[in-house]
Amino acid sequence: ATTVTIAALGANPVFIDINPDTYNNHVNKIQEKITDKTKAIMPVHLFGQPAEMNKIMELSQKYNLKVIEDCAQSIGAEYHGKKAGSIGDIGCYSFFPSKNLGAYGDGGMLTSNNFGFAEKARILRQHGAKIKYYHDELGVNSRLDTLQAAILNVKSKYLPEWQEKRRSIAYKYNKELANIEYIVTPKEIDNCYSVYHQYTIRLVGKNRNQIQEQLKDNGVQTMIYYPVPLHLQKIHQSLGYKLGDFPESEKASNEVLSLPIFPELTEEEQNKVIGLLKTI
Ligand SMILES: *Cc1c(COP(=O)(O)O)cnc(C)c1O
């Protein structure tokens, strides 16, 4: 979803490998990819953990680039005391039902401290018209549905509480899974408040399919985010990337497994997941 927005504008996404500890962009690999044609950096705050924004903002200032934060998985997350989405030029959020703040259908939001960008977004989302029926831009229909907005208004009050629940579930997994030698638990960077949209472990030297099947047979659903790294997706074939270009991303796609995490997960349910992983 992130890179298709770039391609839809006729621009080319340029990929970099991930930091294997966080699964976010490896910030030390951005600079070498910046050229005269570069317009923006688009960090994705993956799994609820903010990207290392200090470095990204430093580069954006140095090279005069815009920063568009993909906060679809990280609403409410913080980096050095600032909310994800408030650091760059624009923050993009999703209210797809499975997100931390989900509507009952599709929805999304942009934030910006730049009044020009906010105004432009308002125009683009309603068919490019600032004044109804006077169309100045090639816009789209992207209004937030009123019913979804009503649902989000109610649900948003609970978000801080849900975040705390997600974090305590994550810390319990961290503690209980720490001694299982084939599992690598997720790492939190310093000075950040991660909101654990996903709790993603690595399985090292184990047959992931088999473990996933065993968990499934015991009523535990797990997911693989993501089975195919972006540079190997069919849609981006024309960019000319190949297997081996981003070894950490490729390795992660073969090793990761996301365990159940959501505010309503009971202690008993979590204990069951942990118990299964200990005996597998
Ligand atoms: C869900 C998601 C999106 C897309 O959100 P939509 O509301 O489906 O457009 C974009 N980026 C990331 C990282 C996501 O998880």
pLDDT over 90 at 160, yes or no: yes
Contact 133, 141 (CB under 8 A): no
Pocket test for ligand 1, best of 94, 100, 230 (most atoms within 8 A of CB): 94
Q: What's this model's pTM, rounded to 2 decimal places?
A: 0.96
Ligand 1 surroundings by CB, under 6 angstroms? 1-2, 44, 70, 72-73, 94, 96, 106, 108
Burial of 262 (0-12, 13-18, 19+ CB in 10 A): middle
Q: What is the CATH number of domain 2-157?
A: 3.40.640.10
pLDDT over 90 at 109, yes or no: yes
Domain chopping of the chain, boundaries? 2-157, 159-279
Q: How much distance in Å is there from the Cα of 72 to the middle of ligand 1?
A: 5
| Eight-state DSSP code of residue 157 | G
Give the model confidence (pLDDT) of 53-86 as tens digits.
Answer: 999 999 999 999 999 999 999 999 999 999 999 9
pLDDT over 90 at 7, yes or no: no
Taking the CA of residue 73 as reference, the ligand 1 atom at the shortest distance is 15
Looking at CATH, the fold of the domain delimited by 159-279 is given as: Aspartate Aminotransferase, domain 1 (3.90.1150)
Give the model confidence (pLDDT) of 180-205 as tens digits.
Answer: 999 999 999 999 999 999 999 999 99
pLDDT at 180: 95
pLDDT over 90 at 280, yes or no: no
129: three-class secondary structure by DSSP: strand
> Mean pLDDT over all residues of the chain?
97
pLDDT at 95: 98
| Domains 2-157 and 159-279 are alike in CATH topology | no
When pLDDT is averaged across residues 111-130 and rounded to a whole number, the result is 95
Taking the CA of residue 197 as reference, the ligand 1 atom at the shortest distance is 15
- For ligand 1, atom 13, which residue shows the shortest CA distance? 72
pLDDT over 90 at 38, yes or no: yes
Cα–Cα distance between 140 and 7 in angstroms, integer?
A: 16
pLDDT at 243: 98
Taking the CA of residue 108 as reference, the ligand 1 atom at the shortest distance is 7
pLDDT at 114: 96
